[in-house]
């Protein structure tokens, strides 16, 4: 697994430890950041808030929780050519988006490998990009490098770039949409159940004013397995009141380690973790690639994959026995067959929901997975590079499922 990239949040001078944006330093008690030690989290992502096991359980069972997205980047794209420009840079059909809708997309390199995952929001006067995994600065630089004669203006509108006038984000997670409407209604009184119902049915985003009638708040509704989610973006200067309303109403703040546990449980890949190990179609990211659009970086490879219809690797869920290895591993976790040959890589891992063993997402060669399914005892194990000892021969249990 590649070394973790530097965070978009600059470290404090004289201190190599990443710091959260200033508003989160004021709102969070003793946040524990990933610091580059957790391979599938950006270095300045919020790992946990002191109780990783309790946070994970609460999120998995659907109790209302809120996850500060410290490592999310925010870019605004303006100008007469903004739609055509982004359409030629991203894997999704930006031209086909209606106003007040959004779609998940990728930025690819010339080999078809995902470089960043993001959500593109189309609004009447601009396009807003919410960029995951700490890839905000690299995405901004990559887009800027391709602006030549286009009438396009790019603005980094993250709090880390422009202070309290910049955007911050959090994700609200609950067991169903009714709970979402009830809890978020405390934070944003202008939010109505009817507006949410229409937005979910039509795939639209919702914009509401803050409680004091100030700048608007952007809400995008989604799911994570059976759970209902809402991604919230708002100005840093406006986050205090809704944040306190949520917490005082009993919503628990949790870190992204809990979110990873839900991702792993429901087979949801990310660019930082799984995307580094193959093409989008091999790593659980195919839904971020429009199957019929052309003329963007990496499109030739995507078209070739679509035409051939054959993939060497795929995303699999593994159920493993034994204790979860230390999270501070910077090296890859190899999946090995009975002969010690590498057949894939573990990309993300979390304790199993019942606390017995652990679950993982792995990118594995299909041929090896088919052979393992027919072999007695399922003789795979996971080995870590460096001085970390391998898990025992029983490390991989009998469960293997393609996602």
Per-residue pLDDT reduced to its tens digit, 44-68: 899 999 999 999 999 999 999 999 9
Domain positions in the chain are 22-72+163-265, 312-403
Query: pLDDT tens digit string along 255-314?
Result: 999 999 999 999 999 999 999 899 999 999 999 999 888 889 888 999 988 888 789 999
CB-side neighbour CA atoms (13 Å) of 210: 16
Cα three-residue angle 125-130-133, rounded to 5 degrees: 165
How confident is residue 104, by pLDDT bands cut at 50, 70 and 90? Answer: very high
How confident is residue 322, by pLDDT bands cut at 50, 70 and 90? Answer: low
Higher per-residue confidence, 203 vs 118: 118
**Can you give the length of the chain in residues?**
403
User: Which of 234-238, 282-286, 342-346 has the weakest average pLDDT?
Assistant: 342-346
User: Is residue 292 exposed (0-12), middle (13-18) or buried (19+ Cβ within 10 Å)?
Assistant: exposed
Q: Where are the alpha helices (DSSP H) in 63-127?
A: 82-87
How confident is residue 325, by pLDDT bands cut at 50, 70 and 90? Answer: low
Q: Where are the alpha helices (DSSP H) in 8-51?
A: 22-27
CB-side neighbour CA atoms (13 Å) of 350: 29
Structure tokens at 148: 């030549």
How confident is residue 40, by pLDDT bands cut at 50, 70 and 90? Answer: confident
The Cα-based distances of 150 to 50, 119, 123, 154, 208 in angstroms read: 48, 22, 19, 11, 32
Asked if residue 106 has pLDDT above 50, the reply is: yes
Asked if residue 3 has pLDDT above 50, the reply is: no
Average pLDDT, rounded, for the chain: 84
Higher per-residue confidence, 387 vs 351: 351
Asked if residue 98 has pLDDT above 80, the reply is: yes
Residue 395 near residue 381 (C-beta atoms within 8 A): yes
Region 22-72+163-265: CATH code:
3.30.1360.120
Query: pLDDT tens digit string along 368-403?
Result: 888 877 776 666 777 665 544 444 334 444 455 665
Q: Which residue has the tokens 């590498």?
A: 342
User: Which of 158-172, 214-228, 364-378 has the weakest average pLDDT?
Assistant: 364-378
- For 282: left if phi > 0, alpha if psi spans -120 to 50, otherwise beta; the answer is alpha
**How many Å apart are CA 42 and CA 230, to the nearest integer?**
21
Averaged over 7-17, what is the pLDDT?
31
Q: What is the pLDDT of residue 392?
A: 38
Higher per-residue confidence, 327 vs 258: 258
Q: Are strands 227-235 and 358-365 parallel, antiparallel or unpaired?
A: unpaired
Q: Would you call 397 helix, strand, or coil by DSSP?
A: strand
CA neighbor of 267 nearest in space, from 314, 321, 330: 314
How confident is residue 352, by pLDDT bands cut at 50, 70 and 90? Answer: confident
Element (H, E) at 55: helix 52-60
Structure tokens at 335: 């999946």
Q: What is the pLDDT of residue 332?
A: 59
Structure tokens at 94: 């930006």
Q: Where are the alpha helices (DSSP H) in 188-290?
A: 193-202, 240-248, 256-266
CATH fold for domain 312-403: Elongation Factor Tu (Ef-tu); domain 3 (2.40.30)
- For 201: left if phi > 0, alpha if psi spans -120 to 50, otherwise beta; the answer is alpha
Q: What is the pLDDT of residue 398?
A: 42
CA neighbor of 277 nearest in space, from 395, 371, 365: 365
Averaged over 146-168, what is the pLDDT?
93
């Amino acid at each position: 697994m590649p070394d973790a990239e530097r965070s978009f949040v600059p470290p404090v001078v004289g201190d190599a430890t990443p710091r959260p944006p200033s508003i989160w330093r004021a709102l969070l008690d003793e946040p524990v950041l990933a610091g580059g030690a957790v391979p599938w989290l950006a270095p300045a992502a919020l790992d946990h808030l002191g109780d990783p096991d309790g946070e994970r359980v609460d999120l998995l069972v659907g109790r209302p929780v809120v996850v500060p997205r410290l490592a999310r980047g925010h870019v605004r794209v303006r100008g007469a050519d903004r739609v055509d420009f982004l359409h030629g840079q991203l894997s999704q059909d930006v031209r086909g988006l209606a106003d007040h809708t959004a779609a998940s997309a990728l930025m690819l390199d010339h080999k078809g490998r995902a470089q960043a995952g993001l959500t593109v929001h189309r609004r009447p006067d601009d396009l807003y990009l919410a960029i995951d995994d700490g890839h905000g600065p690299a995405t901004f630089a990559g887009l800027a490098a391709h602006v030549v004669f286009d009438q396009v203006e790019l603005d980094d509108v993250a709090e880390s770039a422009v202070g309290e006038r910049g955007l911050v984000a959090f994700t609200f997670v609950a067991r169903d949409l009714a709970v979402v409407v009830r809890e978020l209604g405390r934070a944003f009184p202008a939010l109505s159940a009817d507006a949410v119902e229409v937005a979910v049915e039509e795939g639209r985003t919702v914009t509401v004013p803050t409680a004091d009638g100030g700048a608007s708040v952007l809400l995008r509704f989604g799911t994570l397995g059976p759970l209902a989610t809402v991604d919230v973006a708002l100005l840093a200067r406006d986050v205090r009141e809704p944040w306190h309303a949520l917490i005082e109403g009993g919503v628990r703040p949790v870190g992204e380690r809990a979110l990873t546990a839900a991702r792993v449980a429901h087979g949801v890949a990310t660019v930082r973790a799984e995307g580094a190990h193959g093409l989008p179609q091999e790593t659980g990211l195919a839904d971020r690639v429009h199957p019929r659009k052309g003329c963007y970086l990496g499109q030739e490879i995507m078209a070739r994959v679509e035409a051939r219809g054959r993939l060497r690797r795929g995303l699999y869920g593994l159920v493993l026995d034994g204790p979860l290895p230390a999270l501070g591993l910077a090296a890859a976790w190899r999946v090995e067959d009975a002969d010690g040959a590498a057949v894939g890589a573990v990309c993300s891992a979390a304790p199993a929901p019942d606390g017995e063993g652990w679950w993982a997402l792995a990118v594995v060669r299909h041929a090896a997975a088919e052979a393992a399914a027919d072999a007695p005892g399922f003789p795979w194990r996971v080995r870590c590079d460096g001085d970390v000892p391998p898990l025992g021969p029983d490390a991989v249990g009998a469960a293997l499922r393609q996602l």
